[in-house]
Structure 1
Amino acid sequence: MQDLRARPLDEGSSNDLSELQNQVLPLQQIAENMPNANPEEAKALNELGVSLQMRHKALGNPIDLDNAIIAYRRSIRLVQVPAFKVEQLDNLGSCLLLRFEYKKHMTDLDEAITVLQESVDAASDDRGKAVFLHILTKSLLDRFTHLEDIGDLDKAIAMEKQAVELEPAASINKSLFLFTLGKSCLLRFNRAISIQMEDINNAIEVLEQAVAAVPAGGPAEVECLTQLGDALFLRFHWLDDAADMEKAIGAYRKIDTVVPHGSPEKIENLQDLAKALFSRYSRFRKLDDLNEAIAAAEEALSVHQDFLPDGHISKPYYLLNLATAYDSRFHRLGQLDDLSKQILIIEQVGKLLPDDHANRGLFMGNLGSAFFSRFQHVGDVVDIDQAISLLKLASQLPSTPRSSRGKFLNTLGGAYLRRFQHLCEDQDLADGITALEEALELIPEDHTHKASCLTKLGNCLHVRFDHRGNLADIDRAIAHIKQALKMIPEEHLNRDIILSALGGCFLARFGSSRDPVELDQAIAAQQQAIALLPDDHSQKPLFTTNLGTSFERRFHHSQRREDIDRAIETHQLAVDLLPDSHAIRALAFNKLALCFETRFDHFGEENDIDKALTAYSEAAKSMSSVPSIRFHTAIRWGTLACGRKEPSAALEAYTVVLEMLPQLAWLGHKIERRYSELGRVLQVGGAVNAAVATAIAAGDLGLALEWLEEGRNIVWGQINQLRTPIDTLRDKDPATADRLQAVAKALESAGTSDVTAAPRIDDVGVPQQTIEEEATRHRALATEYMMLLKKARSLEGFEDFMKPKKLKSLLPAARDGPVAIINVHKSRCDALVLHSSDTSQPMIHIPLVLFSSERAEALAKVMHNILKNPHGRALVLADRVGSSEAMQFILAELWACVVEPILEASDSLRKSGRRSHITWCITGPLTFLPLHAAGIYNSGDHVKHKCVFDMVISSYIPTLSTLLRSREQDNEYSTSPPRILLITQPSTPNSRPLPGTMKEVEAIRKHIPINNIHHLNHSEATVSKVLDAMGEYSWLHLACHGIQDAKQSLKSGFALYDGRLDLGMLMTKSLGHARLAFLSACETAMGDEKLPEEAVHLAAGMLAAGFESVIATMWAIGDAEAPVVAEAVYEILWRDGKDGGGERELLTAYALHEAVRRLREKVGVMEFIKWVPFVHFGVTNARV
């Protein structure tokens, strides 16, 4: 509204500059020459002041303003007529106010108020006095704005009340005075130390009068309506009277009809309307209000963007309000589009703000919260990493207000909890609890965030109880959540979340206490939570699923039919509410399927099994759900389908199982974590074997072979994939190929780095990355790698790029001889013999009807008992006789049940004129048993003596890919004689001496020229020197102690002079020209019993590092036997390889076979412990 202080000084005064110039000089002369105390002098000085003031307005010269004030002061001292003095006081006050606006000197404002008060006191009670009162009010409001002295505000309100009372109803100034009074009362309500509802009530009353009095359709009406809407909006938040909000929205809507399209006022009003509608939605949950709020905010930011450039001070706040509305609608409806829009908007806000902006922390925190929301819906780990990073930064910035720090730490604690539930990193749970405890210290007791923080802390303690079983945690969790519940009113928006959390805690404590009262309390709390939610609320499916679980648990306790029926009804309701892409879809369908199975088991309703199969199918196929849940669900689906004799369903289920395996051992984890995940999911090996057994039973031998290859040695396969050459892709798409290669290299490095190491330090002593930052980068690399693979596979001709090999690609593995792949499962045991003798039928299926998984486990246990006390390479077993008899039993069982049926069935595959060779690829407990030595050993009966050693040469491979990689590299090696790196440790510090290692050196030197040997002995053989030298030599011989670490498989290794060369270090190597590794150490082919399908042993590590052929040991070897084997091996390899004698394609395997034959002749056939441990892995010849 127009300020009366800006009215023309004299309606008759000229605004023409030349006239003003002509007026000022004569007036100055008159004033100077007029005798003192002349009555006309006051008039002349007043006219001079007016002219100077007008010239200042035209030219902006501050001296004119100063001189005008001097003239007014002199005039007032001389004036005798009271009426004229009021006018002069008014002129002086207006001029002082004008100078205050220019110079901001408080003395001018103070003097103006004093002068204006004099004019009010001197004026008569008529219309003129009302104007003077109004001007005084405005001046007092100015001083209050600068000094915040509430006395000025009180006096301003009192003055304006008088002005309103004096001004006639028909006056054009009436609405202005009412507006100013209402605005002043609203200001006092907001700024007073003690809140007085009378102020806001009075404000609304007079503003309503102002709206009624103001001319319709003009800017004055807009100002009045805006102020009235703001006052009503504010009172609604204090009194919760829906009528106030209705009137506020009505005021804003009326403004929208008055303000012209495409004006700045339009933008501001649309924002006010959006804010009011959003507040009403937050209170009454009417979706129409939220939709209209978003529409208004979108219109303000898009249609009228010309008035809202990026530099506009309000633009970041308007954008953030819209983002908040999108967030609310996302949580209400669960539509990803809203969440994506929210994130884009907040990212836009971040770009608008300078780095040192006072509110940057607030925007970063809100962006972090948005990423957290998207993670909870989609499950993409990159989002949760981004959320945690932003929330941490927002909570640590000094510019972030204390209240906001508490809010962001509260959200951060919840984000840590969810990442722990997703990745199972213990540190995340600890960090979450720490963040929430710090947030509790910062959030005031009466703040709504306090209840939220207590609930999240309770949830963290609940989860820690689930993992550690400490009852104190669940007791504390319940106490915190009960406290949160007491802090909020019945109608609080988040009451449902708190009740659901409380129900979950009661259910968890029931698991320990078995007190049915707690189970009833859980159900009651969960039912209350669900009752508070509309059907379209995004949290309702989860809460309903939790309630169904509680009913199921009560059934197992009570055995009442009604409980399992209600569990099924509740779970059915939950899945009916879920959209296809929801993250908990697999969980909800899995729980429904389990309930159907439970009811079938107890009450025998046949169609329940069919319903269970359907539900398991839906769960397993839920692409957006957690991989571990899909995996376990698919296993259960496959098992149930097999039991129901539904092979097609079973194969479909196991297809999902195989798809999930790489996600369980995710590339975003370090290698030790991948092995941990595979070990934690105890069913992994059994699941793959079950899948293969199902495919064989269905007659699909090709699929069985593909699955067996795909489901074994997952981690080694990932390492080799990251090292795969991509030249063909580079020809098609160089940019994608280069980036894929760079990311693969970085990912391999991240996966094999030591997570326990200290953060890397840069040149100036500053840590480059924390462990958490490194892990976040690792996960981001894994995500980018998968996206690049997807992009590559979208290219024509690259649809199967780096995907698991199909049957056609696996067949060449048998080019140099048959490969026997043996699957062991509780349902059946089978051998698949791959060969190249008949391309029309390249695979023979041999059912091993005499063998079983139970028998395999029993034999492995006997073997473990024989070898349970190994202490190093020089082992001599105490009970030689008992061990020999036990070993004889094992070998006889393996012969009769496994090896003999395979050899008999594949006899026709042997090529005439050459020694027969077979490669074993074994699974399950068989991986710990010596198939290469199987036989019937009766020392007194040579007729009955049969053994595989006398019939074929044996090699082992962890997967068919081991042979295929060598085939691909056939033309990539030098034809020059091999050079050997010889490592010996005759007396490793803190280990038993091994004098036999030097005999190995002597034996090797007998047959290999000294110039072809590089020998590192004792103190020369340090870990770093050996690692560095490995890449320079094609053969490697390690004569030292070997250690199989039962607790940390990746710490298994070779004992060198200054430490252990372990499996984790070998995984970092990629040797392009490595051919043969002879591991003359203990247990170098002994794997991890927890991970039989993963070949976590040193021989596999050498294969992965690039060696084509590895000679290793299954258990501790004698110090006397190792030199015998080494001498014979190198004699044959050097002689036959150099001269072209022997059968080159079998050379390495033949050399070991012949060496072991010589050892067996020397020590005796029945000395199994001495000759059986030597085994060959990889291709049959080291390409000498």
Structure 2
Amino acid sequence: MFASNHPHAIHLHQNLARSLQMMYIKQQTIEDLNAAIAHFETCLTISPEGHPDLPLALIFLASCRHMRAKAGKDDDGFRNALLLLSKASEKMPEAHPWFFSIYHLYTTIFEDYYSLTKDASFLEKAFQYHQLACSAPGIHTWDQLTAALCWRTDANKFHHTSALEAYKTSLKLLDRHVIATPTVFGRCKALLEGILRDTPSLAADATACAISAGNLELAVELSEQGRGLLWSQMSRFRVTINDLRVVDDEGRRLVDEFELLSTELGRRQSDSPAIRPATATLRRTQQEEEARQYRQTSSQWDAVVSKIRQKQGFAYFLTPMPFKELRAAAVAGPIVIINASIKRCDAIIITKDGPPRLIPLPDASLGGIAALSGDFRNVLRNTAGVGEEKMREKQLIPVFRRLWDAVLAPVVEVLLTIVSKGSRVWWCPTSKLTSLPIHAAGPYRKGASNMPNIYISSYTPTLSALIRSRRQNASKVASNTPSFVSIGQSKPNSGSREKELKAVGAELELVKSLVPASMTCSEVSGDEGTVSGAIQALKTNSWVHLACHGKQDFLQPFDSSFALRDKPLRLSDIIQAEPENPEFAFLSACHTAVGDKKAPDEVIHLAAGMQFSGFRGVIGTMWAVDDNTARHMVKEFYEAMFSGKVDCTNAARALNKASKAVDKDKVPMDQRVVFIHIGA
């Protein structure tokens, strides 16, 4: 075949053997596997002692021997594969990136060996190597995360006691991987097109695992850690980095080091050498150098982060909030996390005092909730025509009733022992529940109260988001005279392909007439209703009413936008605006509080962007708004909002009152509950 003294004989045998191994994996022809083994054995025979590619040949041969042992249920074959891996480890320098491949292969061999022999010691060894793979030296976080997710999958498969630790490790590495991605758009792509596409229920399943283990505080922490990653990390960067810069000279130096190393780490993150075979000595040495540089940069980054955490007030920098900090979100009323996992469905009630309270939801399932969400969307889509309002209401009521029976009724029963009717409650739904109007659920039976008559409902994407909404930024001194601006656009740019909104002008006039004299009031509309005009208004006014077309972009969530005269006002523009003293925003536009169906727990929508930008309270919409009827809700809302002291935290109560006070002959049911309140 190849002369043993040929300068590339080792690599030629190795590449041919790998091709044959791949053919076996695809076609399961044992002759291909035997031929692959023969070529790998030749590699070992002709390789001089100390050849740098020898460990790789041993790893590949171990993999093939394992495959043959599994196919033939050959005890000796398993032992031989394990022996080959041991030899490969002995021939590799410390912290070599190929250790990742060895650990990963060990887990597979030991699990298959356990399945053959039922020897529990083999299973324990498999999970020891799962844990080692997650912290293998010189390995990028993507590979570590992949290993952790394999650990989680196998722990569930074998019902192993390490499942909870696997989930904790997975979420920790997910957080680290996203942090190491240098741009917001890169992080969004890494989440929506990569990690969460394949594991959308990671946070919910981790939470369910902690609940099953009886650790409710950890369940809350894991739920928080795994959802809203983009907003949480952006907030941690923005607030902490800005605060650290002004502490002292060391703070500024640490920020500069952190940003420099984060950029370098992100650059090195893009190409992982962990399990890619080296086809030539040059390529192998390049991989080893890449791993060494990555390891060095990662260590430097860890050291800087450690120094930042030693600064007073920065102990939780880039770490998930512990429960004792998260419970502060419930200072004004209970928060209900509703966790929907394939494992189980539960609600957790968090109050400012006492431990979290668990309410199992035995009548709810992830599949049932997904079906309910689909039925809800179908009703809205199939009854959207003029004159179909009564039909739509008739079809919505059974959906609201099913949501109540399966999810809300058990929760409300417990809530009523904690807070009385008419109190404020914050809902923190997960998974497909984020697309369902929890605030509108109810039995819809004679003599029974529905949710709007039981509690004043608000939503929060995460507990930390609600904490941020309540926190006053000391660097932004509140104005003595709150300012109100109405931003409207009835005729958006032609590129938007949106029809003219006939009622926007009347809505803006109505809002202007309802703003109290104690507030300065201005308007940005018509030819002035441009992106630059809107951004300037957002920057300089504390209260904002925005009336125009809204668009949710599911492919590029940060391109979700409001349609203005010259071009779209994108979510990314709003994030970068950094308003001076934001208080409250009313988004009278379609689809401003709708997230990505594939990654609903990330809550990337226009209302969330306004909240992240600093607005303490935001009213958004869960589906399409009829601009002819929206003004009736707007009128009732602002009349209730400004009936007493001007306070943005009264918005949820005013919205609840408006939904009940509005003329039901003029405003159909779906338009009375389309608006939701987010924040404080």
When the two structures are superposed, what TM-score results if normalisation uses the length of structure 1?
Answer: 0.50
Relative to structure 1, the CA distance from residue 967 to residue 995 in structure 2 (aligned partners, 3 Å threshold; closer, same or farther) is same
Percent identity (aligned): 29
The residue aligned with 2:654 is 1151
Relative to structure 1, the CA distance from residue 677 to residue 646 in structure 2 (aligned partners, 3 Å threshold; closer, same or farther) is same
The residue aligned with 2:287 is none
Q: Is the aligned partner of 1:703 residue 2:211?
A: no
Say if 1:667 and 1:782, in contact at 8 Å, map to a contact too: no
The residue aligned with 2:147 is 633
User: Where does 1:1163-1182 land on structure 2 (aligned, <5 Å)?
Assistant: 1163=666, 1167-1179=668-680
CA distance in structure 2 between the aligned counterparts of 1:584 and 1:893, rounded to whole angstroms: 53
User: Which amino acid letter does the alignment assign opposite residue 862 of structure 1?
Assistant: D
Q: What is the deviation of 1:955?
A: 0.7
Relative to structure 1, the CA distance from residue 987 to residue 614 in structure 2 (aligned partners, 3 Å threshold; closer, same or farther) is same
The residue aligned with 1:1045 is 553
SS of the equivalent of 1:821 reads: strand
The residue aligned with 1:809 is 325
The residue aligned with 1:663 is 176
CA distance in structure 2 between the aligned counterparts of 1:1026 and 1:614, rounded to whole angstroms: 56
CA distance in structure 1 between the aligned counterparts of 2:561 and 2:121, rounded to whole angstroms: 55
The residue aligned with 2:617 is 1109
Q: Is the aligned partner of 1:963 residue 2:479?
A: no
Say if 2:254 and 2:308, in contact at 8 Å, map to a contact too: no
Q: Is the aligned partner of 1:979 residue 2:492?
A: no
Cα deviation, 1:160-218, whole Å, max 9, x if unaligned, reads: xxxxxxxxxxxxxxxxxxxxxxxxxxxxxxxxxxxxxxxxxxxxxxxxxxxxxxxxxxx
CA distance in structure 1 between the aligned counterparts of 2:94 and 2:37, rounded to whole angstroms: 27
Q: What is the deviation of 1:676?
A: 2.3
Q: What is the deviation of 1:539?
A: 3.9
Say if 1:829 and 1:852, in contact at 8 Å, map to a contact too: yes
User: Where does 1:259-270 land on structure 2 (aligned, <5 Å)?
Assistant: none
CA distance in structure 1 between the aligned counterparts of 2:648 and 2:562, rounded to whole angstroms: 30
User: Where does 1:29-44 land on structure 2 (aligned, <5 Å)?
Assistant: none
User: Where does 1:354-753 land on structure 2 (aligned, <5 Å)?
Assistant: 490-491=4-5, 495-508=9-22, 518-533=32-47, 538-551=52-65, 567=81, 570-571=84-85, 573-575=87-89, 581-601=95-115, 604-641=118-155, 646-647=160-161, 649-679=162-192, 680-681=194-195, 682-725=197-240, 729=244, 734-737=249-252, 739-740=254-255
Q: Is the aligned partner of 1:835 residue 2:341?
A: no
User: Which amino acid letter does the alignment assign opposite residue 711 of structure 1?
Assistant: G
CA distance in structure 2 between the aligned counterparts of 1:548 and 1:867, rounded to whole angstroms: 57
CA distance in structure 2 between the aligned counterparts of 1:1083 and 1:998, rounded to whole angstroms: 20
Q: What is the deviation of 1:1057?
A: 1.6
Say if 1:642 and 1:694, in contact at 8 Å, map to a contact too: no
Q: Which of residues 905, 908, 913 is equivalent to 2:417?
A: 908
CA distance in structure 1 between the aligned counterparts of 2:512 and 2:299, rounded to whole angstroms: 51
Q: Is the aligned partner of 1:1003 residue 2:475?
A: no
Say if 1:589 and 1:618, in contact at 8 Å, map to a contact too: yes
User: Where does 1:234-313 land on structure 2 (aligned, <5 Å)?
Assistant: none
Say if 1:1121 and 1:1159, in contact at 8 Å, map to a contact too: no
Q: Is the aligned partner of 1:1091 residue 2:605?
A: no
The gaps in structure 2 that reach 5 residues or longer are: 267-295
The residue aligned with 2:373 is 860
Say if 1:729 and 1:737, in contact at 8 Å, map to a contact too: yes
User: Which amino acid letter does the alignment assign opposite residue 1039 of structure 1?
Assistant: A
SS of the equivalent of 1:1089 reads: coil
Q: What is the deviation of 1:922?
A: 1.4
User: Where does 1:312-391 land on structure 2 (aligned, <5 Å)?
Assistant: none
Q: Is the aligned partner of 1:935 residue 2:442?
A: yes
CA distance in structure 2 between the aligned counterparts of 1:1129 and 1:782, rounded to whole angstroms: 52
Say if 2:334 and 2:350, in contact at 8 Å, map to a contact too: yes
Q: How many equivalent pairs are there? A: 643
Q: What is the deviation of 1:1032?
A: 0.9
Relative to structure 1, the CA distance from residue 537 to residue 1081 in structure 2 (aligned partners, 3 Å threshold; closer, same or farther) is farther
The gaps in structure 1 that reach 5 residues or longer are: 1-484, 752-779, 1139-1143, 1180-1184
User: Which amino acid letter does the alignment assign opposite residue 650 of structure 1?
Assistant: A
CA distance in structure 2 between the aligned counterparts of 1:538 and 1:796, rounded to whole angstroms: 48
Relative to structure 1, the CA distance from residue 1009 to residue 616 in structure 2 (aligned partners, 3 Å threshold; closer, same or farther) is same
The residue aligned with 1:396 is none
CA distance in structure 2 between the aligned counterparts of 1:585 and 1:818, rounded to whole angstroms: 48
Q: What is the deviation of 1:1172?
A: 2.3
Q: Which moved more, 1:669-678 or 1:1081-1090?
A: 669-678
Say if 1:592 and 1:612, in contact at 8 Å, map to a contact too: yes
SS of the equivalent of 1:789 reads: helix
SS of the equivalent of 1:674 reads: helix
SS of the equivalent of 1:1120 reads: helix
User: Which amino acid letter does the alignment assign opposite residue 1148 of structure 1?
Assistant: A
SS of the equivalent of 2:478 reads: coil
SS of the equivalent of 1:902 reads: helix
Q: What is the deviation of 1:919?
A: 0.5
SS of the equivalent of 2:594 reads: coil
CA distance in structure 2 between the aligned counterparts of 1:993 and 1:783, rounded to whole angstroms: 56
CA distance in structure 2 between the aligned counterparts of 1:994 and 1:1173, rounded to whole angstroms: 18
CA distance in structure 2 between the aligned counterparts of 1:541 and 1:866, rounded to whole angstroms: 61
SS of the equivalent of 2:317 reads: coil
Instruction: Give RMSD over aligned pairs.
Output: 3.5
User: Which amino acid letter does the alignment assign opposite residue 670 of structure 2?
Assistant: I
Q: What is the deviation of 1:629?
A: 3.1
Q: What is the deviation of 1:1036?
A: 1.9
Relative to structure 1, the CA distance from residue 730 to residue 882 in structure 2 (aligned partners, 3 Å threshold; closer, same or farther) is same
Q: What is the deviation of 1:553?
A: 5.3
Between 1 and 2, higher relative CO (CA 8 Å, sep ≥ 6) is seen in 2
Q: What is the deviation of 1:976?
A: 2.5
Q: Is the aligned partner of 1:993 residue 2:500?
A: yes
Q: What is the deviation of 1:929?
A: 1.3
User: Where does 1:54-69 land on structure 2 (aligned, <5 Å)?
Assistant: none
User: Which amino acid letter does the alignment assign opposite residue 95 of structure 2?
Assistant: S
SS of the equivalent of 2:404 reads: helix
Q: Is the aligned partner of 1:1137 residue 2:629?
A: no
CA distance in structure 2 between the aligned counterparts of 1:978 and 1:1112, rounded to whole angstroms: 21
Q: What is the deviation of 1:1137?
A: 2.8
Q: Is the aligned partner of 1:946 residue 2:449?
A: yes
* Structure showing greater Rg: 1
CA distance in structure 1 between the aligned counterparts of 2:347 and 2:137, rounded to whole angstroms: 34
Relative to structure 1, the CA distance from residue 522 to residue 876 in structure 2 (aligned partners, 3 Å threshold; closer, same or farther) is farther
CA distance in structure 1 between the aligned counterparts of 2:385 and 2:587, rounded to whole angstroms: 19
The residue aligned with 2:275 is none
Cα deviation, 1:911-957, whole Å, max 9, x if unaligned, reads: 6xx8311001111111111111111224xxx22x4321110011111
User: Which amino acid letter does the alignment assign opposite residue 1125 of structure 1?
Assistant: M
Q: What is the deviation of 1:558?
A: 7.4
Say if 2:144 and 2:173, in contact at 8 Å, map to a contact too: yes
User: Which amino acid letter does the alignment assign opposite residue 216 of structure 2?
Assistant: L
Q: Is the aligned partner of 1:1070 residue 2:578?
A: yes
Q: What is the deviation of 1:538?
A: 4.9
CA distance in structure 1 between the aligned counterparts of 2:569 and 2:249, rounded to whole angstroms: 38
Relative to structure 1, the CA distance from residue 586 to residue 655 in structure 2 (aligned partners, 3 Å threshold; closer, same or farther) is farther
When the two structures are superposed, what TM-score results if normalisation uses the length of structure 2?
Answer: 0.84
The residue aligned with 2:533 is 1025
Cα deviation, 1:350-376, whole Å, max 9, x if unaligned, reads: xxxxxxxxxxxxxxxxxxxxxxxxxxx
SS of the equivalent of 1:1013 reads: strand
Say if 1:811 and 1:842, in contact at 8 Å, map to a contact too: no
Say if 2:257 and 2:304, in contact at 8 Å, map to a contact too: no
